[in-house]
Amino acid sequence: MLSQQDVPGAVDEVLRDFFATSTVALDTVSPTAAEAGRALDDFVLGGGKRIRPLFIHAGWQCAISAADRPPAAPSAQATEALMLRVGAAIELIQACALVHDDILDRSDTRRGRPTVHRRFERLHERLRWTGDGAHHGSSVAILLGDLALAWADDLVHGYRPTGDAPLPPPLPQAAGAAWSQMRTEVLGGQLLDITNEVSADESVDAAYRVMEFKTAAYTVARPLQIGAALASASAALSTDLRRIGTDLGLAFQLRDDLLGAFGDPAQTGKPSGDDLIAGKRTVLIARALADSGPVVADRLRALLGRPLSPDELADARTILTDSGAVAAVEAQITEHVDEAQSLIAGLDVAPTARADLTALAHRIADRQA
Amino acid sequence: MLSQQDVPGAVDEVLRDFFATSTVALDTVSPTAAEAGRALDDFVLGGGKRIRPLFIHAGWQCAISAADRPPAAPSAQATEALMLRVGAAIELIQACALVHDDILDRSDTRRGRPTVHRRFERLHERLRWTGDGAHHGSSVAILLGDLALAWADDLVHGYRPTGDAPLPPPLPQAAGAAWSQMRTEVLGGQLLDITNEVSADESVDAAYRVMEFKTAAYTVARPLQIGAALASASAALSTDLRRIGTDLGLAFQLRDDLLGAFGDPAQTGKPSGDDLIAGKRTVLIARALADSGPVVADRLRALLGRPLSPDELADARTILTDSGAVAAVEAQITEHVDEAQSLIAGLDVAPTARADLTALAHRIADRQA
């Protein structure tokens, strides 16, 4: 059975194989389109931690080894290729999410390189094309994100944009249902996120709700559930995994909040204090605003959503720490991970499956990037 | 068997039913997300000619009544619901294409109403939200387009974002393959289109290639082929329908070029001379530039891609007509429709199926909006 450490490489293999055919399909339209499409291949294969495919694998591994597994369920061998295909597909969803999000957030860099829309803005500049280069960059990035989203569905259902016969086996219904829910949840969470931002909703509740759908469901809970469904998991196991996934997903995002304010650019690949400069409404910031006096809260508000000098960044960080928000968020991370750990300990699955899930839990909660 | 005239109403019924569940799914994320999502329902149900579902129906009807139909193929009754579902799904692809295209083209109105991104820009203004209203409008429109694209795939494969059991029957493989190809073709065609525009490629060839993929394949050829595949069409019929569809699709876009320059705003719902103001690289304009002397061509170039006074618009139209481009495009439309008609006449299918396809051919070639 494919081990956890081999998942990223195996998923990349599926992606490379898919991009070989998608490039052919785009090239049939025009070499110009294929050239633009290559930016998507570069983006997907050039980085990322494959965290969602790892959770798909973890869910699958639990279901394959579950004590309550139906005797007639297909074997690990029969479903491994499908598990990797769905893992690759979710990386394409993630490509769409990041490429479009970078337009929404006006981000210049991602993974230490120019974002896709900036890349095409620069190409426009370099080739001295006509019109507005920034608009052209965003336009290309919108279309490339759309392609990634369409290709994700092709891959999940086994199709290739060259129109070859679909790859077996077909997606089980429970996996398709969770896949469908997941896409609406992440996009709904993003809609809520940008609306909270412009309507200046500072509440901890609002930030929590975004986190629940934009991150927890999408990054951990649904991937675990989808992976489990690929191996015919029982309803009980599926429910347990979704609960574990929600806890771990919330821990993941809370860690992200801390990294977005305190992270080391050399490790995160993003500018220092990125979330503060972007004025993101994270739980960390909502907590600090709620728990500071009105004067300090106003000082923090004045430090959000604009470029910051090193002194200003240090000041914002001091407020986050002194308000108790940093400690509160660290405590929440611990609480969510502990809750997940006790649920993991109770799963009637193979020791490897439990150990792998535990390793992912720590990786999520303790990461530096 | 469902008749052509009943297709738009029946497709809208499927869309209404789908939106009822997608609203529930978004509402689970947050009422705010569901509220934003309603703009998509409004957009899809508020207008559109359902031309792609009509071609899906036409292809299906041909295959159902084909002389070379395999005896074991499923009946009209068994596949009608699926045909309508796929028809509804392609309207969601179209919603994504239009909503995102309106951002790319910076269009203010669509179907006589504000475009989706402008609608949210105005909401931002009205509610005195913080930040850049135009950017917020585009951001919401990017996410709503993504939702439409994801939902299109849900619907094709029978899923609902609430996670209910999928609707039967499953999509036949040949239909899924054509569906996959179609999405890459339309997005590839759009990538080519915007690249031609900024790189100022004025050639008739470049404009023709965009038309072939962005419009002909997506609007007619693939819908006909997908519809036929839903009723187990033979390879020969599928090939014939794709050829017919390519001719009709090219005629459709060439008519669009003429309407984009000469159309009546009261009928098209778009500003007068829209394509000229937008500086679109249509075959009509490419033809006029190629067939005018350098002085006149420069005069036309100076009238493209900016707001025009009534006199300037009249001048541009005179150049298009006097260059012979208008007559040439009309002749091409006639040629493509004639070619399609002779292929339609040769199809060994029911007289109704042939008559319906002929009616659609005329509707496409002779339309005023």
**What is the pLDDT at residue A167?**
87
Apex B7 CA angle, B4 and B11, nearest 5: 165
**What is the pLDDT at residue A272?**
87
**What is the pLDDT at residue B232?**
95
Cα nearest neighbour of B162 on chain A: A181
For residue A354 the two structure tokens come to 């439990």
Contact B116, B134 (CB under 8 A): no
Interface test with A, best of B23, B103, B142, B211 (most A CBs within 10 A): B142
Q: Give the ipTM.
A: 0.96
**What is the pLDDT at residue A266?**
87
What is the distance in angstroms between the Cα of B162 and the nearest Cα belonging to chain A? 6
Closest CA to B318 of B299, B333, B305: B299
Q: What is the pTM of this model?
A: 0.96
Interface test with A, best of B27, B184, B226, B280 (most A CBs within 10 A): B184
**What is the pLDDT at residue B207?**
93
* Domain architecture of chain B: domains with CATH: 1-47+75-167 (no CATH), 169-369 (1.10.600.10)
pLDDT score of A269 more than 80: no
Question: pLDDT band at B261, cuts 50/70/90?
Answer: very high
Residues A114-131 as b or e (16 or more Cβ within 10 Å = b)? bbbbbbbbebbeeeebeb
Of A337-341, B158-162, B163-167, B222-226, the range with the lowest mean pLDDT is: B163-167
pLDDT tens string A197-250: 999 888 999 999 999 999 999 999 999 999 999 999 999 999 999 999 999 999
pLDDT tens string A287-328: 999 999 999 999 999 999 899 999 999 999 999 999 999 999
Question: pLDDT band at B165, cuts 50/70/90?
Answer: confident
For residue B140 the two structure tokens come to 């919401």
Question: pLDDT band at A112, cuts 50/70/90?
Answer: confident
What is the distance in angstroms between the Cα of A139 and the nearest Cα belonging to chain B? 6
pLDDT score of A114 more than 90: yes
pLDDT tens string B309-321: 999 999 999 999 9
Amino acid letter at A228?
A
pLDDT tens string B75-102: 999 999 999 999 999 999 999 999 999 9
pLDDT score of B36 more than 90: yes
Apex A27 CA angle, B100 and B179, nearest 5: 55
Contacts of B26 (CB under 8 A, 6+ apart): A184, A188, A191, B33, B34, B36, B37, B161
Selecting from A32, A150, A151 the residue whose C-beta is nearest the C-beta of B192 gives A32
CB atoms within 10 A of CB A369: 13
The helix (run of H) or strand (run of E) holding residue B109 is strand B109-110
Contact B148, B99 (CB under 8 A): yes
Region B43-60: what's the mean pLDDT? 96
CB contact under 8 A, B147 and A32: no
CB contact under 8 A, A165 and B180: no
CA–CA separation, A355 and B67 (whole Å) = 61
Region A140-164: what's the mean pLDDT? 96
pLDDT score of A282 more than 90: yes
Cα nearest neighbour of A104 on chain B: B139
What is the distance in angstroms between the Cα of A26 and the nearest Cα belonging to chain B? 6
**Residue B208 CA: distances (Å) to CA of B180, B181, B257:** 22, 19, 12
Chain B residue numbers with beta carbons less than 8 Å from the beta carbon of A37 are 188, 191
Question: pLDDT band at B343, cuts 50/70/90?
Answer: very high
What are the DSSP calls for B138-178, one per residue?
HHHHHHHHHHHHHHHHHHHTT--TT-PPPPSSPPPHHHHHH
Strands A113-114 and B113-114: unpaired
pLDDT score of B248 more than 90: yes
pLDDT score of A70 more than 90: no
B342 burial (CB, 10 Å; 0-12 / 13-18 / 19+) is exposed
pLDDT score of A150 more than 80: yes
Chain A residue numbers with beta carbons less than 8 Å from the beta carbon of B195 are 32-33, 36, 140
**What is the pLDDT at residue A200?**
86
Question: pLDDT band at B301, cuts 50/70/90?
Answer: very high
pLDDT score of A270 more than 90: no
Question: pLDDT band at B188, cuts 50/70/90?
Answer: very high
**What is the pLDDT at residue A291?**
95
What is the distance in angstroms between the Cα of A145 and the nearest Cα belonging to chain B? 9
pLDDT tens string A47-65: 999 999 999 999 999 999 9
| Sign of the torsion formed by the C-alpha atoms of A353, A90, A280 and A272 | positive
**What is the pLDDT at residue B1?**
87
Strands A113-114 and B109-110: unpaired
**What is the pLDDT at residue A366?**
87
CA–CA separation, A183 and B161 (whole Å) = 8
pLDDT tens string B355-368: 999 999 999 988 88
